[in-house]
Chains A and B, each alone.
Chain A
Amino acid sequence: MVDRDEVKRVAKLAMLELKEDQIDKFAAQFNEILEYMEQINELDLSNCEAAFHITELQNVFREDEVKPSMDRDVILKNAPETDGESFKVPKVIER
């Protein structure tokens, strides 16, 4: 059962902040969804293999060569704040 505190805990882990009315709504919706998912507990999966990929992927190797990547100004084009060389963020270290 997901309660208000659990919703707030998960929001915090996901770096999200919910409005008061959203917390109750999400709790109710999560409970409905998780209750539906309970059906998988009918199955005994203890001896099953897990399928972390399904198309028989193989490791992809390549030579460790230096190749040109995108220009710095192209990369910075979409940044909210830059100094022309780097992404700028609010100060992290207290003086």
Chain B
Amino acid sequence: MLYKKTLHELMDLVKNKKITPKEVYDSVLDRIHKKESEINAYVTVFEEYKENASGGELLGLPIAIKDNMHIDGKPTTCSSKILSNFVAVFDATAVKKLRENGATFIGKTNLDEFAMGSSTETSYYGVTKNPWDTTRVPGGSSGGSAAAVASGEAIAALGSDTGGSIRQPASLCGVVGLKPTYGRVSRFGLVAFASSLDQIGPITRDVRDAAILLSIICGHDPMDSTSANVDCEDFTKYLNQPISGMKVGVYEAALKDCDNVVQKAMDDSIKILESLGCEVKSIELPHAKYAVSDYYIIAPAEASSNLARYDGVKYGFRASNFDDLKDMYIKTRSEGFGDEVKRRIMLGTYVLSSGYYDAYYLKAQKLRYLIKQDFDNIFKDFDCIVSPTTPTEAFKIGEKADKPLQMYLSDIFTIPANLTGIPAISIPNGLGDNGLPLGLQIMADAFREDVIFKVASAFEREFNLRDKLPLD
């Protein structure tokens, strides 16, 4: 049952010649064949094992990639009809770095169309189910990656996070999801949704695997002018360190909007942090309550611009019946995009349109600065901030599908880290009334992933869901 093991366990086994990477690949493939009809975590599965002879530290072990990042020669659909026939012609930098470090790739995971959603229900390729309870959503937009890792359909995966799209599904599926600092990982080859917010990160079964993958994919890239000129480091050195004396802020105002089980899990988490010697204090982030409003002005505005490129000319789907060039653009876009993508493009077009720019977009950018200042002030006195990752456990499929505002509010705790560019992780911190996983979010100052790994690794030793994951 190799598919049940973590990446670092498998690395040790391969290194010691106990197993081959092909055996791991086959074990995961078998698991996919067994579970995929039930879970639908993948858009494309690569049935054939292609050896990676680079000798890199991942030693040929398979990684799953969210289907909005390019793997040369493989389809990148973004779970949209408009890219349903697109085949990538280069590797995303994160993919290239994995490849250079010995990874193989097992498939492209499902997502909300163009990563716009919190439930993976808006995919053109059907909804992904939560492996803990298949009547519920896995979260989103990286729901395919999180469900695959939680169910054994993948050992580890990459996701992307614009407003919580790595952390929220990781939380709802009981796994670990890390959004690095904006600029830490190159966005080259990640299909753009909202360029000032998007960031690639790992989804894994434990904190060590997240540290291993981040250490590989991080680093400056001349192909992404927003990638930060910060040295790569081996983040595994921050694991298993004492965290006594660490100053932890609790974003308490958040808790009043949460389910009771989520509050209870937070209380327990605070006790664990205190028992580890952390100084835990309540903090205030006066502008954080405006984060959802701020985000749903800025992200759609950027999306409306980024998605203007889908016009049926250079790549992707083109409508077959149209009168002239302009009609071809309109028909292609109207037939190629789903409702949520149309909604966001239009919301963005609206807030940027003449007469509304000052009332929405400019205000949102000012507010973004205030939210950033709130966090800067806290990080003068605190090492990290903790909150629940989500206000509820996984919701039922269909429950919020036609209620966009309700769906948007499920990202209320994750959005601030994107608006401010800071790193944040979600790790399991309890089980709800229905036996479904809950997540603890740990946020640190920009480029302080070291703090996140220290606290997450120490917390994980006290509480984890390793034995409860739906891997059987």
- Chain A interface residues (CB < 8 Å from chain B): 2, 6-7, 10-11, 13-18, 22, 26, 29-30, 32-33, 36-37, 39-40, 43, 45, 48-55, 57, 60, 62, 70, 74-75, 77-81, 87, 89-92
Contacts and interface: CB of A to CB of B under 8 A. Distances in A.
A29 to B, nearest CB: 5
A80 B312 CA distance: 7
Interface string B345-366: 1110110010000001011111
Interface string B85-119: 11101100000000000000000000000000000
Given A16-B337, A37-B360, A78-B87, A54 B404 contact: no
A36 B297 CA distance: 11
Given A48-B369, A89-B328, A7 B290 contact: no
Interface stretch (B18-26, B211-219, B316-324): B316-324
B346 A11 contact: yes
A50 B369 contact: yes
B61 to A, nearest CB: 30
B181 interface: yes
B294 interface: yes
B201 to A, nearest CB: 16
Contacts of A49: 366, 369
Nearest to A61: B225
Nearest to A35: B405
A51 B324 contact: no
Contacts of B367: 40, 43, 45, 48
Interface of B: 85-87, 89-90, 181-183, 196, 222, 225-226, 228, 287, 289-290, 292-294, 296-297, 304, 308, 311-318, 322, 324-326, 328-331, 333-334, 337, 339, 342-343, 345-347, 349-350, 353, 360, 362-370, 372, 404-405, 408, 419-421, 446
Given A30-B347, A30-B350, A54-B420, 6 more contacts: A10-B350, A36-B405, A37-B293, A39-B293, A54-B196, A78-B85
25 contacts: A14-B304, A14-B342, A16-B334, A16-B342, A16-B346, A22-B339, A30-B346, A33-B408, A36-B293, A45-B367, A49-B366, A49-B369, A52-B196, A54-B182, A54-B372, A54-B420, A55-B181, A55-B182, A55-B183, A57-B226, A78-B86, A78-B87, A78-B89, A78-B316, A89-B328
A91 B182 CA distance: 43
Contact of A33 (B311, B372, B405, B421): B405
A7 to B, nearest CB: 7
A14 B294 contact: no
A16 B330 contact: yes
Contacts of B222: 62
B405 A55 contact: no
B342 A54 contact: no
Given A33-B405, A80-B318, A14 B349 contact: yes
Chain A residues touching B, majority SS: loop
B325 to A, nearest CB: 5
A40 B346 contact: no
A16 B340 CA distance: 13
Given A10-B353, A16-B330, A45 B363 contact: yes
Given A14-B349, A15-B330, A90 B366 contact: no
B346 A14 contact: yes
B365 A51 contact: yes
A60 B405 CA distance: 38
A31 to B, nearest CB: 10
Contacts of B346: 7, 10-11, 14, 16, 26, 30
Contact of A77 (B89, B225, B363): B89
A89 B353 CA distance: 28
B172 to A, nearest CB: 23
B91 to A, nearest CB: 13
Given A15-B333, A74-B89, A40 B182 contact: no
Nearest to B352: A13
B365 A89 contact: no
B89 A54 contact: no
A88 B248 CA distance: 58
B343 A29 contact: yes
A39 B334 contact: no
A40 to B, nearest CB: 5
A94 to B, nearest CB: 10
Contacts of A52: 196, 365
B360 A18 contact: no
Contacts of B360: 37
B368 A17 contact: no
A82 to B, nearest CB: 10
A17 B313 CA distance: 18
B294 A40 contact: yes
